A and B are shown apart, each in its own frame.
Chain A
């Protein structure tokens, strides 16, 4: 067993953290206030540096990184002080947008889409959730009916990360209503396809830098060639085999926690109460120590998931759900303590810790709620 990071991982982490510090951290507060995504100019720069195609193979213009390398990159961006919302949108587009195509796409689909994801031209969305199908994702109702060389899609997708800005949406729709979750197929839907429209951008309490909205499909015409994977395998295969990646994607929050912890250590050293830095008080010291311990544990669980994907040791639902469950818990405490250590200052918008206390909630809800993670873990361990 080797816990050392490779030369690549160290170098990439250093570079991306520096990028985040220089370009993403300074815009975080304002974008949070205005609910804005990364400005085009910075997004294009990210694409030039390879950040929009981290896991995309080299032959398609990506960086060709494995899972562990990719999640270390996401983490590094968090360490640099970027807004969690920006990182969520980036991770969803870059990772969840590309992995299903890499794994299940036809050569034509790969050729058509992967290079444009990698070069930043396409922002992607992963569209499973519907107004009446959240945790119970198998109960979606969006319909896809075959008509010649096309499928005709009708329905609404809800709370879609990148919904308001996505150019390419992976949409899950029912092709055979009689077969339950085995009647669901996946489609690569471009926002320019006829019948595709968007709801308005939603006003959220947290991850405000990540645009969220509904997608409305009214007789949306999708070429049959844009079906991803075999008919009926959208949920059972495409969505399921992306699960580990979906969980691992949250690794940017490891970086956010690290950034918070460092911010708190600095603040605790400088803030004077009762004539001494508050870092001298046990109450504060123990909070900092807890933050560190839980971050470390969450990090190790995430690195293991990355490693398992790279080793082909998937599906690994227990390990993946455990990692996400634990990260969420650690993050909640991290965000809470960070504000607590900052006292009244911590509630002020000018301190980044305030944002994290609003942002952390997405981790408990998005990508499978905490309760669903526990269900998955319990189901697997009791069964075996």
Chain B
């Protein structure tokens, strides 16, 4: 009887897990393996895949030609992460500790811009940052003689990235701050800890996992972005995302495109590993 129930339970568990396992195995892992395979394959003059095993694509990739693109991607993702996290922390702090009953409203408001199509949002920035746009009208009326050039600059790309990724940083930090026991802070105060000390010794360490998650959620995806550098940066400095689009959709160079994808995958996995290690360290320190 017990064994029967056990067996039945096992089958039910299997059935419940089957859809997600199949999804991941067939549509995530298998495709990734094919990409890995293609990155070692050759290609004919018109972009067809020639099966085989060689390191040509990787050899090509590690030429000086591609270094600026990788460096640029890491740099852009880094600054985007720094800006997003530095802005997101005070916001999350305010929502968690100061906003009171308006906290849910503020959280929903933060999401509203994201219900408008991504490209329409970016187009609003194209208009705002234009030579005759609103920002320049204000600037020329006050401090500048000539309209400043904003579109097509590094700064414009960063603004677009922060605009796109800020909520990805706010939510994990908020999620870490929100459950912090108010009693703990009270206790700290009673023991004579000043608010800053309290923040440094209690709030900040407890919210570190959230900060790290925020870094992960901003840094990794921002390397694969391709529309923002084109629409706001004038396509002048391209990043890995643009390179992949160019190789797959313009040059029809699937082996090289696959190799770039594999490199990006390795970068991302490194990011994830670093995150997990840091998380473990923080949790170990706390325990």
Q: Do A and B bind each other?
A: no
